[in-house]
């Protein structure tokens, strides 16, 4: 079983420039797993050019692990197996069962192969539950992998096949109509047995057992040669060659050039959720922090096009006295923020809290004509509910598209982190007096 080679975070320069799998650890916990054409470059990009997803965990990383692979397909398959084994929290946050990909292989007389998002686990005597291999993180590399593996192990993708050869038959990717004969001829029966053997090998490869398959094929070729069935042995030899070529040289992983998250897509969903026609670029998130009312603080963090801009973060030392009152503290923070006419206004603000916090946010922003069109939302962390201006009932955060879920969690976590950091700093100063 493959094991990660672990390095401390400050030794990133020692990572290999080869294809493989990498992981990030928070002390001993594996929190993220990814694949790369160049492990060193990809890991460095996480730190040097973080997107808003990276910002969820970048400060938690204490160690980096890696496993080198001989090919991109091996990296894809190993990534799936290790995510299934370790369940890293920051892979799981971004994907639910419907977002992962599985390869399904039916268990009927003539198995078919297809990709699906969701496993069907309902027992059915007429159509038994398929064999599922996965989960795989990305669909495009998986589709490419299956397309190339199909050259070595032709398979059906549909239950019905035309009476004549289809396009895929001419390309050598489909077993053809012969195996579907009813009743089957001796040739069809032999072909069907061979087809089922190939499907089993395909499953093994997708589970990361390439060596097992190659050894099996070499053994078959040797036996056929011993029996002087040289034509069949040559076919096995060609299959071995095709499989080795596919596994070693196929390009399926996207370029290591960092992809910027598609803010346009996220923005479009945000506009729909908040009911605004205006473009959303600047989002501000607010949080307050106090211990029994002492050294209370309020903070504002700013994201531009989905990414934090720490130069725009602001701190507010709460001035009101008396018993701790989160609503009053939030009100003061917002009023003092909107008093700064020289600061650019946001299109959207996120407040930590429930309906009461949402209402105070709406009340404060309506005090000035220039701020009244700002949209307000709030997050109640206990049930991970999102309260939205002009909507009566909250919405569970997990029901939103994944990019919105990630963005809201990231905004709220960053505001909370910034508030706690500032609050601790003030308390330390106070205690040292």
Residues 348-385 have pLDDT tens digits of 999 998 999 999 999 999 999 999 999 999 998 777 78
Report for 115-119, 253-257, 286-290, 349-353: range of highest mean pLDDT? 349-353
More confident: 59 or 118: 59
Report for 165-169, 243-247, 360-364, 416-420: range of highest mean pLDDT? 360-364
Delimit the CATH 3.30.420.340 region(s) of the chain. Answer: 263-431
Predicted confidence band of residue 400 (pLDDT cuts 50, 70, 90): confident
Interatomic CA distance for residues 84 and 65, integer angstroms: 17
> Mean pLDDT, to the nearest integer, of 396-411?
82
Predicted confidence band of residue 291 (pLDDT cuts 50, 70, 90): low
pLDDT of residue 260: 45
Predicted confidence band of residue 74 (pLDDT cuts 50, 70, 90): confident
Interatomic CA distance for residues 42 and 235, integer angstroms: 40
Predicted confidence band of residue 122 (pLDDT cuts 50, 70, 90): low
DSSP state of 107: -
Contact of 357 with 385, CB cutoff 8 Å: no
pLDDT digits (tens, 9 = 90+) for 209-257: 888 888 888 988 898 888 888 888 888 888 888 787 777 666 677 654 4
Delimit the CATH 3.40.1440.10 region(s) of the chain. Answer: 5-92
pLDDT at 152 over 70: yes
pLDDT of residue 138: 79
Is residue 103 exposed (0-12), middle (13-18) or buried (19+ Cβ within 10 Å)?
buried
pLDDT of residue 349: 96
Interatomic CA distance for residues 83 and 92, integer angstroms: 9
pLDDT of residue 97: 47
Q: Where are the alpha helices (DSSP H) in 275-388?
A: 326-338, 355-365
Q: Where are the alpha helices (DSSP H) in 262-320?
A: 263-274
Interatomic CA distance for residues 29 and 391, integer angstroms: 39
Task: Collect all residues with Cβ–Cβ distance below 8 Å to 192 and sequence separation of at least 6.
Answer: 109, 110, 179, 184
In CATH, what class is 5-92?
A: alpha beta
pLDDT at 430 over 90: no
The alpha carbons of the chain give a radius of gyration, in whole angstroms, of 28
Nearest to 377 by CA among 367, 400, 36: 400
Interatomic CA distance for residues 106 and 427, integer angstroms: 63
Contact of 164 with 174, CB cutoff 8 Å: no
pLDDT of residue 257: 42
Q: Is 167 strand, coil or helix?
A: helix
Contact of 284 with 350, CB cutoff 8 Å: yes
Contact of 366 with 372, CB cutoff 8 Å: yes
In CATH, what class is 263-431?
A: alpha beta
Interatomic CA distance for residues 340 and 16, integer angstroms: 49
For 248, what's the count of Cα atoms within 13 Å in the CB-facing half-sphere? 7
pLDDT at 158 over 70: yes
pLDDT of residue 99: 64
Interatomic CA distance for residues 167 and 173, integer angstroms: 9
Instruction: Give the pairing of strands 348-352 and 375-380.
Output: parallel
pLDDT of residue 424: 66
The C-alpha angle 205, 209, 214, rounded to 5 degrees, equals 80
Q: Is 396 strand, coil or helix?
A: strand
Q: Is the dihedral of CA 46, 48, 54, 58 positive or negative?
A: positive
Nearest to 20 by CA among 53, 60, 54, 65: 65
> Mean pLDDT, to the nearest integer, of 156-170?
82
**184 phi and psi angles, rounded to 5 deg:** -75, 145
One DSSP character per residue, 228-265 reads T-HHHHHHHHHHHHHHHHHHHH---SPPSSPPPP-HHH
């Amino acid at each position: 079983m493959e094991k990660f080679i672990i390095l401390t975070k400050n030794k990133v320069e020692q990572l290999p420039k080869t294809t493989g799998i990498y992981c990030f650890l928070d002390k001993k916990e594996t929190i993220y797993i990814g694949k790369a054409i160049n492990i060193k470059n990809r890991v460095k990009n996480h730190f040097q050019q973080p997107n808003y997803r990276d910002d969820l965990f970048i400060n938690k990383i204490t160690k980096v692990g890696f496993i080198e692979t001989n090919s991109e397909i091996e990296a894809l398959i190993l990534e799936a197996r290790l995510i299934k084994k370790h369940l890293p929290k920051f892979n799981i946050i971004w994907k639910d069962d419907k977002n992962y990909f599985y390869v399904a292989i039916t268990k009927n007389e003539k198995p078919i192969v297809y990709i699906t998002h969701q496993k069907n686990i309902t027992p059915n005597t007429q159509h038994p539950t398929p064999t599922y291999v996965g989960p795989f993180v990305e669909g495009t590399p998986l589709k490419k992998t299956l397309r190339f593996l199909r050259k070595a192990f032709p398979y059906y993708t549909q239950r019905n096949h035309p009476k004549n050869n289809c396009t895929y038959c001419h390309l050598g990717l489909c077993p053809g109509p012969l195996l579907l004969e009813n009743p089957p001829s001796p040739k069809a029966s032999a072909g069907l047995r061979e087809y089922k053997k190939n499907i089993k090998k395909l499953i093994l490869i997708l589970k990361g057992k390439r060596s097992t398959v190659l050894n099996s094929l070499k053994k078959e070729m040797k036996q056929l040669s011993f029996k002087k069935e040289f034509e069949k042995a040559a076919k096995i030899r060609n299959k071995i060659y095709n499989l080795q070529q596919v596994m070693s040289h196929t390009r399926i992983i996207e370029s290591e050039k960092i992809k910027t998250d598609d803010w346009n897509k996220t923005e479009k969903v945000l506009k729909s959720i908040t009911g605004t026609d205006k473009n959303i670029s600047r989002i501000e998130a607010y949080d307050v922090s106090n211990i029994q009312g002492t050294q209370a603080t309020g903070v504002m963090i700013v994201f531009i096009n989905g990414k934090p801009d720490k130069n725009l973060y602001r701190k507010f030392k709460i001035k009101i006295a008396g018993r701790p009152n989160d609503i009053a503290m939030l009100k003061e923070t917002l009023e003092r923020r909107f008093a700064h006419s020289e600061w650019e206004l946001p299109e959207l603000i996120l407040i930590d809290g429930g309906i009461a916090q949402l209402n105070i946010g709406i009340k404060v922003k309506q005090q000035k004509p220039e701020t009244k069109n700002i949209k307000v939302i709030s997050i109640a962390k206990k049930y991970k509910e999102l309260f939205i201006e002009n909507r009566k009932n909250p919405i569970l955060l997990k029901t939103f598209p994944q990019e919105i879920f990630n963005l809201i969690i990231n905004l709220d976590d960053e505001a909370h982190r910034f508030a706690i950091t500032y609050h601790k700093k003030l308390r330390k100063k106070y205690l040292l007096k």
